[in-house]
């Protein structure tokens, strides 16, 4: 029996709904597969924990997480606490502290889901966006001077290291090499940002020499938004900085049907630390507590987690169950134009997993 220790952090808002739903689905899958066992520990970290303890996770939180094989995360964000406090209190310290430098965001049109792009089908929207997850614009460097005074100054300094840029580009080229189309688009803004982004361009050209079987091109980030809308079929794997890929992947999620479907993996490809798997959406205050959050993103990211753990068959079976469920519009939550509840979608996926013909 292969055994894995999973830290579940539901966090805030709909994270409290979609992570338990995902754990239910994983239990059904575990019963079906029989080859592995998940030992799940749910950690009550997030904004309520902060209200009680003055911090979002314990001081030794990272050390605690290192004992797990993977982290299954919901979202963090609270209507009463500023977003930069919550994000820097929980999610970013985990990603940066565990050096999960590769943020992988697939965007694919699942069966039964319509893209807002008229006339585009699944063969035209099948992308993976790779986001640099450890530095760049979210390095946290900068500060404020003359606080509150008329001459107040704030700096937000983007940090690009050759090592950081090279490792994410190598990862992206490697990922592109493993896909059938073997295409990579390197996105920057090297016309306006002439230091860090030009370094990206230079390192991309160097790394590309080691991947002669991958065809690659460059695109400026503003032009990339129009290419995603107008020529989606020309895109396969995309790599970009922390900020640029953050924005592009929300657009990708919307073009692939809904933010409620899009998963992400925060990987330490060197496997020195556990990787973290989460939906790309946030805590969604507007629908929290209503039981209508789409749990598909958290199911899909659970499949990515199994894949990362080496359970490829289980991951494929879970994806097949997800696709069977999305194919039926009766299982669509309100974000997809339907009226299904989180509960209904969860039960449908569990039922599909229990069925014999999957």
Where on the chain is the footprint of ligand NAD (CB under 6 A)?
14, 75-77, 83, 86-87, 91, 259-260, 278, 281-287, 293-294, 297, 333, 335
Q: Which is nearer to ligand NAD, 92 or 198 (CB)?
A: 92
| Contacted entry of ligand NAD, Mn ion, none for residue 246, CB cut-off 5 to 8 Å set by kind | Mn ion
| Radius of gyration of the CA atoms of the chain, in A | 20
Q: Which stretch binds Mn ion (CB under 5 A): 17-25, 111-119, 220-228, 243-251?
A: 243-251
Q: Based on the number of CB atoms within 10 Å of its own CB, is 62 exposed (0-12), middle (13-18) or buried (19 or more)?
A: middle
Q: Which is nearer to ligand NAD, 244 or 281 (CB)?
A: 281
Q: How far is the CB of 342 from ligand NAD (least distance, A)?
A: 8
* Cβ 123 vs Cβ 233: under 8 Å: yes
What whole-number distance in Å separates Cα of residue 302 and Cα of residue 320?
13
Window 61 to 90, contacts with Mn ion (CB under 5 A)? none
Cα 66–Cα 315–Cα 186 angle in degrees, nearest 5: 75
Q: How far is the CB of 297 from ligand NAD (least distance, A)?
A: 6
- Is residue 137 part of the contact set for Mn ion (CB under 5 A)? no
Q: Which is nearer to Mn ion, 126 or 246 (CB)?
A: 246
- Is residue 246 part of the contact set for Mn ion (CB under 5 A)? yes
Q: Which is nearer to ligand NAD, 86 or 185 (CB)?
A: 86
Q: How far is the CB of 246 from Mn ion (least distance, A)?
A: 4
Task: Report which secondary-structure segment, H or E, holds 103.
Answer: strand 102-108
Backbone phi and psi for residue 77, each to the nearest 5 degrees, phi listed first: 155, 130
Half-sphere exposure of 341 (CA within 13 A, CB side): 8
What whole-number distance in Å separates Cα of residue 211 and Cα of residue 237?
14
Active site residue ranges: 138, 189, 222, 246, 250
Place of tokens 């503003």: 222
Q: How far is the CB of 264 from ligand NAD (least distance, A)?
A: 8
Applying CB under 5 A, the residues found at the interface with Mn ion are: 246
């Amino acid at each position: 029996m292969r055994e894995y220790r999973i830290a579940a952090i539901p966090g805030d808002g709909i994270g409290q709904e979609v992570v338990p739903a995902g754990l239910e689905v994983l239990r059904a899958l575990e019963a079906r597969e029989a080859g592995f066992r998940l030992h799940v520990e749910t950690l009550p970290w997030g904004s309520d924990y902060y209200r009680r303890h003055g911090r979002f996770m314990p001081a030794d939180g990272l050390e605690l997480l290192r004992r797990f094989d993977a982290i299954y995360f919901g979202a963090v964000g609270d209507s009463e606490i500023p977003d930069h406090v919550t994000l820097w209190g929980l999610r970013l310290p985990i990603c940066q502290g565990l050096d999960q430098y590769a943020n992988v965001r697939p965007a694919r049109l699942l069966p039964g889901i319509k893209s807002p792009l008229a006339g585009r089908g699944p063969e035209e929207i099948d992308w993976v966006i790779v986001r640099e997850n450890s530095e760049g614009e979210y390095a946290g460097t900068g500060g404020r001077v003359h606080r509150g005074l008329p001459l107040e100054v704030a700096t937000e300094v983007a940090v690009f290291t050759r090592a950081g840029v090279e490792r994410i580009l190598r990862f992206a080229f490697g990922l592109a090499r493993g896909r059938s189309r073997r295409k990579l688009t390197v996105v920057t803004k090297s016309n306006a940002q002439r230091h860090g982004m030009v370094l990206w361009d230079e390192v991309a050209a160097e790394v590309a020499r080691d991947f002669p079987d991958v065809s690659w091109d460059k695109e400026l980030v503003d032009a990339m938004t129009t290419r995603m809308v107008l020529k989606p079929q020309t895109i396969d794997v995309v790599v970009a900085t922390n900020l640029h890929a953050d924005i592009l992947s929300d657009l990708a999620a919307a073009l692939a049907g809904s933010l409620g479907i899009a998963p992400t993996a925060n990987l330490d490809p060197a496997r020195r630390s556990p990787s973290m798997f989460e939906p790309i959406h946030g805590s969604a205050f507007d629908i929290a507590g209503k039981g209508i959050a789409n749990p598909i993103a958290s199911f899909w990211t659970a499949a990515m987690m199994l894949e990362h753990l080496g359970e490829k068959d289980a991951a494929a079976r879970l994806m097949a169950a997800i696709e069977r469920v999305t194919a039926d519009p009766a299982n669509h939550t309100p974000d997809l134009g339907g009226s299904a509840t989180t509960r209904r979608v969860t039960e449908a996926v569990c039922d599909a997993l229990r069925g014999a013909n999957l």
